[in-house]
Amino acid sequence: MYINKLELENFRNYEQQKVNLINGINLFLGDNAQGKTNIIEAIYICSFGKSYRTLKDNELIEFGKEYCRINLEYVKNNNDFTTSFFIDNLNRKQIKNNEIKIKKIADYVGEIPIVIFSPESLDVVKGSPAKRRNFIDMICCQLSKSYIIYHQEYMKCLKIKNSILKEDYIDNNYVEVLHEKMSKYIKDIVDYRKKVIDLLNKYSIEIQKKLTDGKEEINIIYNTDFLNMNEDEIKKYLDDHLYIDKLRKSAIKGIQRDDLEIYINEKEVSKFGSQGQKRTALLTLKLANFELLKELKQEIPILLLDDIMSELDSKRINFLLKYIENYQSIITTTEDTFVKDISNIKIYKVSNGGLEN
Ligand SMILES: Nc1ncnc2c1ncn2[C@@H]1O[C@H](COP(=O)(O)OP(=O)(O)O)[C@@H](O)[C@H]1O
Ligand SMILES: [Mg+2]
């Protein structure tokens, strides 16, 4: 699939902007603070129904305006589709796909598959476990509507459990009923995460070898307490650890503690990897993410690459450009020195909330 048109109205520093995108490399070039990332953010919002930069939707509205709107036109199997996002100052939000209102976001996420790679993505390799879970969850959510629902329901149970654990008197029976519900969700979530991580590993091994001339072997390990457990075993595990939860006044065990371990040549990259190895590992993971979505969705995801060219050396940039030349990507950059011998490219100059090409 690819996006052929993006229209912004009162979005961040864009008052009115229309842009026709090509099914190839779309390069947004400009100085800092001109509105490059805002373009990436707008497309992300049309995919996930929310921003990754803020939890407050109304921050997206241009200062002093009452609402903002993003319209997107995209092509899938030679058919045209539209998506629109609207939010006003009273936090009235509306997402429409082909003019039909989206009631539940789970019904919509995955319609426009994307892979986003920005300087903050490095947290997947060197940041907290939450960043790695988020990386996996973003993939799972784009693949499975039930995953989104199970995850939401699990998080609701966890919230209730945590509030109970803060109380002086704790009704064990009530918590165990919660555990019963949670163990069903845990089983499904762990199975799905496992499936995705196994596939990610498969693709990563190939890509990492190509990127490092066969010198580096990457290995991704899913770290969870619940691997190969059935629902009863999961419930028992949660019940057995309730005494620790009570001592800590917070749920200690659960999929909110899952993590990934990323190894290069059998050494954990977050602890022992050089800066260059961390960047290479991340590039590998993102391209593996792309391959995985492509295979499981039978559709080509859109690549959003925000300001990462300055983070990569010329060898990796060339590898990346070669990899993506036949797909649609939206790339932002302050410098275009790396653009050489690429045919399927369109350059847009970004300046103070305006574009020219
Ligand atoms: N709600 C808003 N209304 C108007 N301008 C905004 C809003 N939010 C952010 N901006 C402006 O957008 C610019 C940053 O855009 P961004 O796309 O992040 O820049 P960059 O080109 O560096 O990626 C800043 O000048 C900022 O003041
Ligand atoms: Mg930026």
CA of 34 to the centre of ligand 1 (A): 7
Answer yes or no: do 183 and 272 share one domain: yes
Domain boundary among 247, 267, 297: 297
Residue closest via CA to ligand 1's atom 3 equals 62
Going by the DSSP 8-state scheme, the letter that residue 57 receives in this structure is: G
Q: Is the pLDDT of residue 340 over 90?
A: no
Q: Is the pLDDT of residue 357 over 80?
A: no
Going by the DSSP 8-state scheme, the letter that residue 104 receives in this structure is: -
Rounded to whole angstroms, what are the CA distances from 41 to 7, 129, 215, 231, 330? 13, 24, 36, 39, 11
Q: Is the pLDDT of residue 284 over 90?
A: yes
Answer yes or no: do 179 and 228 share one domain: yes
Answer yes or no: do 48 and 175 share one domain: no
254 found inside a domain: yes
- Split at pLDDT 50, 70, 90, the class of 343 is confident
Residue 120 near ligand 1, beta carbon < 6 Å = no
Average pLDDT over residues 59-76: 98
Q: Is the pLDDT of residue 128 over 80?
A: yes
pLDDT digits (tens, 9 = 90+) for 176-204: 999 999 999 999 999 999 999 999 999 99
Q: Which of 178, 328, 310 is closest to 242 using CA atoms? A: 178
Query: Tokens in use for 198?
Result: 């196994």
Cβ–Cβ under 8 Å, residues 297 and 314:
no
User: pTM surpassing 0.85?
Assistant: yes
Residue 15 near ligand 1, beta carbon < 6 Å = no
Cβ–Cβ under 8 Å, residues 345 and 21:
no
**Domain span holding position 178:** 126-297
The helix/strand/coil state of 353 is: coil
Answer yes or no: do 101 and 196 share one domain: no
118 found inside a domain: no
Answer yes or no: do 224 and 292 share one domain: yes
Average pLDDT over residues 55-84: 97
The contacts of residue 52 (CB under 8 Å, 6+ apart) are: 41, 44, 116
DSSP string, 187-234: HHHHHHHHHHHHHHHHHHHHHHHHHTTT---EEEEEE-S-TT--HHHH
Average pLDDT taken over every residue of the chain: 97
- Split at pLDDT 50, 70, 90, the class of 9 is very high
Whole-number pLDDT of residue 226: 98
pLDDT digits (tens, 9 = 90+) for 165-178: 999 999 999 999 99
**Among all ligands shown, which has an atom nearest to the Cα of 42?**
1
Query: Tokens in use for 70?
Result: 């993003």
State how many domains the chain has.
2
Q: What CATH number does residue 292 fall under?
A: 1.20.1050.90
